[in-house]
Structure 1
Amino acid sequence: MPVHPEIKKILDSLPKSQPKTKVIPEEHRKMFDAPVLPVEKRVQVYSVEERTVPTAEADIPIRIYTPKEGDSFPILMYFHGGAFFSGTLDSHDEVIRPICMESGYKVISVGFRLAPEHPFPAALEDCYNVTKWATENRGELKWDGETLALAGDSSGGNLVAAVSLLAREKQEFSITKQVLYYPSLDLDFSEFRYPSLVENGKGYFVESDQLAELNSFYLLGGVDTDNPLVSPIREENLEGLPTALIITAEYDPFRDEGELFAGNLKKCGVHVETIRYEGVTHGFLGKFTHLDEYKDVYKRTGDFLKS
């Protein structure tokens, strides 16, 4: 279907030709991290708690969302998007709140270290270590000890897939479900091997010809993009990975790799639900979920997590 009329208005208002400029992380962060809704207009949850988790590498800030009063909860770890070098606990607050309330899960948002100050594998280590910490603090967190899910958007979806692979390898804890929103799963941009990188590569907020530069901050030091912990789509053996919900967007450069990953999981016997939202672009959570066509994404996430 065509781009949603309200989204098209925004796209049409953007300059048609912009000179290429070098990406400066600090400037990009200011723009990316700007909230859409003030806190008082966001979905209200029972409680929100700020914490810090000490790990061997760093002290990692987290934010814990509790949906209601209770003695026991399933837990969802949330890894935010932002190309590994932007995004914060604040930038995704308005996304996590409705996920918390629709699912009934206690959600732990992870403020992992960002590139280029902390390139690969810092973000992956932080997400894995904080997840492990959660399992080791069952009583304090009121975790039910059974259900441990992961969710993330864009580069956060990459971290979800990578943590799932690492958890399968290390066997220190078990992930029961994973939710990937329009994930970036292949960080080798030397060629555009997915049709959506070409079809949706210009004019839809995320420009394909900028992806190599945006991800270069995470890949400092000659990181091998064939490593499945960097590009999870390169993992051939996906057996035993968690049940997955993969949500893609029609006008997103990353659409095809998300859907290919879903197909690869199915071939390896993993139960997968795949939903493509039509007429919408990358990054629509929070930005366009006020529109009727997309507001059910949180309910669908909740239904998947509760099923």
Structure 2
Amino acid sequence: MGLFDDAPTDADATVRTDADATATLNEQAQAVVDEVAQLGIPEWSALGIESARRIEDEVFASVDAPEIERITNIEIPGPAGEVPLRIYHPDPEQSPPVLVFFHGGLWAMGTLDSIDGVCRRLARRTGHVVVSVDYRLAPEHPFPAGLEDCVWATEWVAANATSIGADSGRLAVAGTSAGGNLAAAICLWVREFGGPEIDQQILLYPMTDISDDHRSLSENATGPLLTRRDVLWAHDTYLRSRVDRYNPFAAPLRADSHAGLPPAYVVTAGFDPLRDEGAAYASALDSAGVRVVHDHEPAMSHGFLSLTADVDAADAALDRVADAVRDGF
């Protein structure tokens, strides 16, 4: 296993692939999927919003997550009220780089708790400060409310890095799924309007487009863990109107140009409805001259980096993400 220079046709970028990959879901991941299926949980889009939020927290709660030397919960003044942050510092005697992290959840679900395990593991494996952001959620707060909170939090972290024990000159953004969308949109925002220098963007199975045309939405329409209906429901829930579908801060893939953006590490999964839009974003960045590594995991599903306690290949993939974070600085 390793990196090679010739990308597949759906993403002209540097792509990692497994030589022995097959068209079946990873055996350990399948066991987790089967366990979730036995709970009889409907698709996210078929649940009421409050039920979906509660179940999402329960499904993705931290399992065997490592201890972190210092975890601090704070609230900062935001554009429309307080924005909660959770700060993970693995070594308060040091002032390492800082990674601002945005959870997934289709812009409508997710909390600091649902992404806690991933943030703990990244802080531990990178040795860097991780700041998790609890942004406003749709449908109560549609686009661009959540993005505004995330931009605000990123600027706050950059301005206050020293006070939280981080290096004020080394900053990256990252996110899973809808959080990957927000991380990519922040990089576009800073390029257009100014803001802190972002050293890299870590986009983990990101939502980069507002479209129903991507092939993976049909190939993986029934999941596992995320379905086509869920994705289309998320689009309708997040946006104020159809006009927003063409706004690059909602759909970063639709930006007129991707030049001048920070280097990127993009993770996609073969059994993910979002696979092709993530790959397309890696390709767009590469075509614009942005340094990008695309780590494609053909035997994985959406959300697999939350399964590291049970899935060895997911744990190894998170190690590569941590390596990319360190190498990016």
TM, length-normalised to structure 2: 0.86
The count of residues paired between Structure 1 and Structure 2 equals: 303
CA, structure 1 residues 58+207, in 2 after alignment: closer, same or farther (shift >3 Å)? same
Aligned to 1:33: 57
* Contact kept? 1:103, 1:301, Cα under 8 Å: no
The 3-state SS of whatever aligns with 2:311 is coil
Listed one character per residue, the Cα deviations across residues 189-221 of structure 1 (whole Å, up to 9, x for unaligned) are 3xxx22111111114221113322233221134
The 3-state SS of whatever aligns with 1:116 is coil
* Alignment equivalent of 1:72, drawn from 92, 95, 99: 95
* Contact kept? 1:104, 1:302, Cα under 8 Å: no
Aligned to 2:227: 207
Distance in 2 separating the partners of 1:221 and 1:267: 30
Distance in 2 separating the partners of 1:37 and 1:228: 32
* Contact kept? 1:246, 1:274, Cα under 8 Å: yes
Higher relative contact order (CA 8 A, sep 6+): 2
* Alignment equivalent of 1:4, drawn from 12, 26, 30: 26
Shift of 1:19: 9.6
Shift of 1:91: 0.6
Shift of 1:104: 1.5
Aligned to 2:311: 291
Distance in 2 separating the partners of 1:117 and 1:142: 34
Shift of 1:146: 1.8
Listed one character per residue, the Cα deviations across residues 113-141 of structure 1 (whole Å, up to 9, x for unaligned) are 11111111111000000111112213312
* Contact kept? 2:45, 2:229, Cα under 8 Å: no
Distance in 2 separating the partners of 1:295 and 1:63: 23
CA, structure 1 residues 302+21, in 2 after alignment: closer, same or farther (shift >3 Å)? closer
Aligned to 1:235: 255
Q: Which runs of 5+ in 2 are unaligned?
A: 1-21
Give identity over the alignment, percent: 35
TM, length-normalised to structure 1: 0.92
Alignment of 1:135 with 2:177, yes or no, is: no
* Alignment equivalent of 1:170, drawn from 193, 196, 212: 193
Shift of 1:265: 0.4
Distance in 2 separating the partners of 1:294 and 1:89: 21
Structural RMSD (CA): 2.2
Distance in 2 separating the partners of 1:56 and 1:33: 26
CA, structure 1 residues 38+288, in 2 after alignment: closer, same or farther (shift >3 Å)? closer
Aligned to 1:266: 286
* Contact kept? 2:200, 2:263, Cα under 8 Å: yes
Distance in 2 separating the partners of 1:19 and 1:277: 23
Listed one character per residue, the Cα deviations across residues 70-117 of structure 1 (whole Å, up to 9, x for unaligned) are 242211000000011110001100111111111121111000011111
Aligned to 1:82: 105
AA matched with 2:249: L
Distance in 1 separating the partners of 2:256 and 2:249: 12
The 3-state SS of whatever aligns with 1:108 is strand
Q: Which moved more, 1:167-176 or 1:212-221?
A: 212-221
AA matched with 2:48: I
* Greater share of helix: 2
